[in-house]
Structure 1
Amino acid sequence: MWSAVPAAIVDFVTPEVPEIPPRLTDPRPVLAVGSLVWLVATVVVWCNDSWADARPICLMGLGVGLLGYSIFVIQRRGARRGDKGAQKGL
């Protein structure tokens, strides 16, 4: 039957996971590029009448980008204040 695995074996098998570099965890470039792409798409669609059906989609893309940036700002403010429920590393 199965027996308990000694703790020494479990610690030996589990490697140390390196920390992810800050440049890969910073959400600001992703938010900026995404919002810029939606802004360009909105301007292009608004200038061209043949793409009139895509206007609401572009506006919603801008809205989702604004929502994402708002959540990021609120979480960053909470992390800087030291709130218990805030994300770490913002």
Structure 2
Amino acid sequence: MGKWTPRHEAPEPLEGNVVGTITGGTVLWFVLFLVQLPFYAWFEHHGHLWWLWTCLAGGGLGLLGIWYVRRRDAALRRTADAAAGKQGEPE
């Protein structure tokens, strides 16, 4: 087990525009749902109706994801602001 021990510290995680990424993915899922909607009968006839509902579920879960990452982003900002406020105060 010793040979699997990391020899250096892990790098910090990359922070990007998480809200924009999740929003873009959610929009994409809803667009895919709307594009497939006119072909409902074809999907049903060929047994591929789950494709349509997968896109709708992806869009719905994306809405939950947007809510989550916006709250996370706000909490990270509050924590950073509080830490910056404490550093500026004399002890």
The TM-score, its normalising length taken from structure 2, stands at: 0.56
Out of 34, 40, 51, the position equivalent to 2:43 is 51
What letter corresponds to residue 36 of structure 2 in structure 1?
A: V
| Structure 1 moving runs of 4+ over 4 Å | 17-20
The 2-side partners of 1:55 and 1:28 are apart by 25
Q: How far did 1:32 drift?
A: 2.5
Q: What is the aligned-residue RMSD (CA, Å)?
A: 2.8
Structure 1, unpaired ranges of 5+? 1-12, 84-90
Identity of aligned residues (%): 21
Q: How far did 1:14 drift?
A: 5.8
Compare the two structures and name the one with the higher helix fraction.
Answer: 2
Q: How far did 1:19 drift?
A: 8.5
Q: How far did 1:18 drift?
A: 8.6
Structure 2, unpaired ranges of 5+? 1-6, 81-91
Out of 15, 24, 29, the position equivalent to 1:38 is 29
What letter corresponds to residue 38 of structure 2 in structure 1?
A: C
Out of 77, 81, 87, the position equivalent to 2:78 is 81
Q: How far did 1:69 drift?
A: 0.8
Distance 1:81 1:45, change over 3 A: same
